[in-house]
Structures are given as structure tokens and as C-alpha cells.
Structure 1
Amino acid sequence: MSPSIPARRGLGAWARVLVPAVAAVLVLAGCGSATPSTPGAGAAAAQADFPVSVKHAHGTTTIKQKPKRIVAVSWMSLDVVAALGTVPVGVDEQWGGDKDGYDPWFRSAVEKLGGPLPETLNYGNAGEIDFEQILSLRPDLIVGLYSGISDVDYKRLSEIAPTIPYLKKPWDGGTWQEMTRTIGTAMGESRKAEALVSDVQARLAGVVREHPEFTGKTFTYGVALTPGATEVGLYLDYDARVRLLTELGFTNTPSMGAIAGTAKGTNWYGGVSLEKLDTIKADVFVAWANGPKEVEYSLKDPVFSRWKPIAGKHYAFVQDEALGMATSGPSVLSIPWALERYVPMLADAVAGKGATGADS
């Protein structure tokens, strides 16, 4: 269900263009509405009384009582559930996770809650949901805001438990703030959700104050090249990792229209040929890479290496898998974890020091 690095389940190979993660997450433009409180209503949002209803792309889901057994079938959703005080009973295995498939910020949150760690979900070769496994977990709520849950999947999942899929379109769960508030509404934890959002926003604002050099710098986010590549994958403006950079003070490339024009269907990325790369304007290039070989190959490519942000060493390649996940699928748990690792790389990129993420 959830996307994975380098590709989301069920998508073509070149869709290495990940992955978060990460619009919200994140990401993304969409907002759940709820009764009696509405996600995003501000600090005064009241703690929800049940039942509550959440509108989404497949209709409206009503949760009759506070959920205790929650299955998260997508990125970021599991982080929000844990941050709001409940350990999910089932989650997607996380790219960049430890040997058990859990990212460090999620494992830490679960340990603080007293565990146990949740069961990881199974998928078929084409990304099919294992409905029997989910049924066996006896959930009373299923959340998949950053997912590609189809209408058929939604109907089957809803037969098991109230289900909240993406809010507007596949792989578009709303911003990390909207996701937190939406899940907070569903869990009856609107006040706690608002407090979490405020805390993380304050941390991001602190980075902007401490790094005024970020403000106004244009950027584009993409992926490292692989042997034989003839184009560079670049993410659209609603993608989670793109939105995170704008929250850190950067300005999205003025060439986004050209990038978006190459996107196909519901893809969250476009592809620009190497020969036309100089038409993409950006002060800084940020990307994820599957290890140092991809970074080395990219920097040695005779065309790519002449592109202005690469030639001037205004680039940051994220190689560390956990950091890649944290910034591709930003959440109220992963953002604080990521900042101390990500911000120095971005500072080096702005300064023309060429951050390769080797020590991240």
C-alpha cells in the first residue's frame, strides 16, 4: 500500500523517484473535515466526542468510539498514531528501518509507550493488500492517508473496520499538519494533535531563524542518476519532501511548470531529459541516492555535472536510508529526528560545499 524507496508498490521501475514521503507528506493539498471538530481548526479545537466523521476521496468515514486497535497502511500514518499515544497493531515495513523494519523515531516512540512493537503488514508481488492478515489484527480503525487505496480496497477494508484513505487523490494525504489533525480527529485526540503540530512548526521556524541563508534560495528535489539514465527524476510541488524544504525557508524552483508538464497520470514526479536540464532553474539541488556509487556516477556524468547547481557544488545527496525516509515522509515524529542531520547538509549545499551525505 505505501510507497517504498526506490519505488512505490505496483509502479514502474523508473518511479525510483520516490518515494516520501516525502508531498505531505506529506505533502500535499487536501484537508479532512470532521464532526464535531474540524482538523486544522487551530489551537482552540475541542477534544472530539464520538462519533466523529472524516471526509475523504472515497466518501465519509464515521468512527463511533475511540479506537484502540489501529492499523496504519501507509507512510507517516503510523508515526502520527504513535505520537498521539497509541501503538498501532499493524504497520507497513519502513524503508530505512532496522532489521525488524522499524524506523528509529517510531521505535523510540513505541518504547516510550511501553510497546509491544506492531506486526508488519504483508503485500503481494503487485502490492496487493493481505486483507486476511488485517482482519486477524482485529482493528477498530484503519488509516492510510498517504496511500493508493483503491475504491475496491476501501470497500473491503471498510468491511473490517472504519477506514480513512487518502483525502483527495492517491499518494496525497495532505500536509503533515493536515495528516496529524485528521488522524487526531479520528482518534479523539484533536488537542494533542494541535500541540504536536505547534511544537514541530516551532522547530522548523527555529531553523529558518538560524539559517537566514536558506530564505529565498530556489531548489528542486530529485533522485541521483543510475547507469544508462537519460533523464533526471524531479518531484512535484505537492510532494512531501518538497514541501518540507519550503518550510525550511527555501523557494520551489520557478521551473515547476515544466517539471509538472512531464508527469503522467497520478504520478508525483516528472522526468527532465539530461539535454534539457539547463532549462530547470534552481540555486540548490537536493536528492536521495541509493548509496555512494549513485552519487559518484551522477557527479561524473558529463551533462549532469555541467548543470549550474552541480557545477557550483550547490547540492545535497541524502544517502542514509533512515534520513531518506524521515525527509521523504515527514511527520511529527520524523521531522525532529531529521533536522539535526538534514540541516547541516542543506547549509553545505547553499555554501557550495557539495554535501554527499556520506556521514549522515
Structure 2
Amino acid sequence: MSSHRFRLLVVAAALVGISACGGTSDTGSKDESRSDGVFPLTVEHALGKTTIPAKPKRVATVNWANHEVPLALGVVPVGMAAANFGDNNDDGVLPWVEEKLDDLKAKTPVLFDETDGIDFEAVADTKPDVILAAYSGLTKKDYETLSEIAPVVAYPDAAWATPWREIIRTNSKAIGLADEGEKLIKKLDGDIAETAAKYPQLKGKSAMFMTHVDPNDVSQVGFYTAHDTRTQFFQDLGMKIPGSIAKASEGTDKFALTKSAEQIDAFDDVDIITGYGDDTGELLKTITKDPLLSKIPAVERGSTYLLPGSSPLATAANPTPLSIGYVLDDYAAALAEAADKVK
């Protein structure tokens, strides 16, 4: 895209935003309920402060899962990132998002192809009033470029490290639905507690989530740190983060780290290992036959569960507002089966 073309798009988006701010509507009048928030509204985040002048009418989202917040609250985005993992029918939309769009009788929003990074031109073409990115990996440059299109709400603390509750709080606040966001959190907390109660064997078990493993090179063991939402979700289910993972997470804000296979004795305190596998089960066989990795206690006793390939279930292990209810019971049941092997 030429710089001249992009500047024209930015100006057009800005003019739409100014027009929206100057008028009144059923969703933007001063008579709206307190749950809609008070505008102008300022949101602080890791990349700065963003002021949203009026309640957004056109919401765009980038990166993973941010679109699920407005959808869960009945707001259909004008554009969102296409799913590139766990999409079971290759249409760019995960099944729980399709289900919600059907419930809302809404068409699929414009899908941004982020295979090679954010498609700034496509975002600008949707003429958004706000861009939600509370769970994202935005760089400062990404943020500045997007901010030329519309106000951008980035992650509160660190890239790819926003817990699901904060994804909801941050994004719902930005669209004037903070109270509704809190109600959603309360509902999901109740669903999680109800599911966890069905699997008491999970309580108190320590769990580690491995990153993607190359079956042709198992000399390194990757794992998500205590800052990552996959690891934090174990605590929602009544489990705990192993001391080895907690210690390794100190002094870094990275969401994933690695250890060499020669250091696998560090994971002796892990009761259950889960992670991303494949549809054939070959990766788990590789790990259990490896002379070093097979000595990890969780691998040795079989309390290891690898999620099936790039399936929706594997995707939902990273909890998001709409995926939690969709696969919660299946995920908890699989972890409970692994927990049964811990003596």
C-alpha cells in the first residue's frame, strides 16, 4: 500500500470518528445508563494512554480473541483478526465465534489476515471508532500506526500476558460496557467453579503447559511461564503452578521459556504435563521414548495429556471469553484423567 493511499484512509477514518463524536444517537446520548460508561474515557495501558471521545459505534479488533469481548456483550465488530489456529473448517472463524454470530443473527465481520503481521490498510478500511487489543503482541510501532486510524486500547502490562478477566475488563470498558463485562466475568467464574467441582482430583495438583515441540528435535523443552494465560488457567480449575515454573518465571515478563533436556530434573515437582500435540499421538510417543524426557516423573507415570493438534480444543486451552464455555468440560475431563495417575 502506498503511503499516500494510507494517509487518505487515515484521514477518512478520522473524519468518520469526528462526525460520530459530534452527533447524538440511542447508543451515544448523555441519557445512557451508567453501565455504558462516561465519555470521553481514558484507558491506561502498557503503551500509553488512550482517550476515546465518545461511545464507539464501529469496533475493530486485532490479534487474538479481542473480538470475543464485544461479541459476548452483543456488539458485532466491523473487523477482527482471522483465526489461524484451531479453525476446524478453514473459514477464519473459530466455532464458538461462529456460534455467537449465529445467536446474534449477524454476518461474519471483515477478517484481517495477520499471517504476516497486522494488515493496517484492511483495519483502516473498516473505519473503526476504536481498536481493541487488550490481549495482543502489539509493538510500539504497531500501536503508533494503528493510533493514526483510531484510538487503540493495548495490553495492560505485557504482550500476550493479559488474563482472561482483564481482557474482558479492559475491552468492555473501552466500548462503554464495563458493568456488563463484570457480569460476564461473574458468570464465567461460576461456570468454571461448577466444572472444577465435578473433578475433585484436580484440586492441588501442579501442572505445566509445554509449548509446541518439534518431534525431530526434543533437545529443548519449552514451557509457558506463570505470566501466561494457559498456565494461570490451571489455578482457575483448583490446580497450582509448580515451584519450578514459578521460579523460572521470576525476573522475566516473557510468556514462554525453554530448558535443555539435560535440565529436565527441574520438572520433578510437576504432577501433570499438558501441551500441544498432534492428531496421531506420535509426538507423545516420541517424548515417552526419549531417553531424557521419559525420565520426567509426569511422563514416566503417564500423567501427560497432549491436546489434539490444532483442533478447537487445543485452541481453547488458552482461555478466552467465548471459548471457556465451549470446551471447558472436555479440557477439565482430560486433565482429570491425567490427575488420576498421580499417586
Pairwise TM-score range, normalised by the shorter structure: 0.7 to 0.9
Q: Pick closer, same or farther for the CA change 1:47–1:233 going to 2, 3 Å.
A: same
Are residues 1:322 and 2:312 paired?
Answer: yes
* Distance in 2 of aligned mates of 1:105 and 1:123: 20
Partner residue, 2:163: 175
Is 1:153 aligned to 2:138, yes or no? Answer: no
Q: How far 1:257 moved relative to its partner?
A: 4.6
Amino acid at match of 1:77: N
Q: Is the 8 A contact 2:63 2:114 kept in 1?
A: no
Deviations 1:63-109 (A, max 9, x none): 12221221111212111121011111221121111321111111111
Quote how far apart the aligned CAs of 1:225 are: 4.9
Q: In the alignment, what sits opposite 2:260?
A: 273
Which residue does the alignment assign to 1:116?
107
- Corresponding residue for 2:25? none
Percent of paired sites with the same residue: 30
**In structure 2, C-alpha distance between the alignment counterparts of 1:238 and 1:312, rounded to whole Å:** 28
Matches within 5 A, 1:1-360: 46-94=35-83, 95-97=85-87, 98-123=89-114, 125=116, 127=117, 129-172=118-161, 174-223=162-211, 224-260=213-249, 267-280=254-267, 281-291=269-279, 292-320=281-309, 321-328=311-318, 330-352=319-341
Give 5+ residue unaligned stretches, structure 2.
Answer: 1-33
Q: Specify which structure has the bigger relative contact order, considering alpha-carbon pairs within 8 angstroms and separated by 6 or more residues.
A: 1
Following the alignment from structure 2 to structure 1, what is the Cα–Cα distance between the partners of residues 340 and 114? 43
Q: CA separation in 2, counterparts of 1:99 and 1:131?
A: 23
Q: Answer with 1 or 2: which has the greater Rg.
A: 2
**Local SS of the residue matching 2:221:** strand
Shift of 1:266: 5.4
Q: Which has the higher helix share?
A: 2
Once residues 265 and 307 of structure 2 are traced to their aligned partners in structure 1, the CA distance between those partners, rounded to angstroms, is 22
In structure 1, runs of 5+ residues without a counterpart are 1-44, 354-360
SS of 2:51's equivalent?
A: strand
Task: State the Cα distance separating 1:46 from its structure 2 match.
Answer: 4.3
Q: Structure 2 CA distance, aligned partners of 1:209 and 1:108?
A: 27
**Corresponding residue of 1:6:** none
Counterpart AA for 1:199: K
| Matched AA of 1:180 | I
CA contact (8 A) 2:225 2:246 kept: no
Q: CA deviation at 1:323?
A: 1.1
Aligned residues: 303
Contact 1:71 1:143 in 2 (8 A): yes
- Report the Cα offset of residue 289 of structure 1: 1.6
Q: Which amino acid is 1:181 matched to?
A: R
3-state SS, counterpart of residue 67 of structure 2: helix
How large is the RMSD of aligned CA atoms in angstroms? Answer: 1.9
User: Could you tell me whether the CA contact under 8 Å between 1:326 and 1:335 is conserved in 2?
Assistant: yes
Q: What's the offset of the Cα at 1:130?
A: 2.0
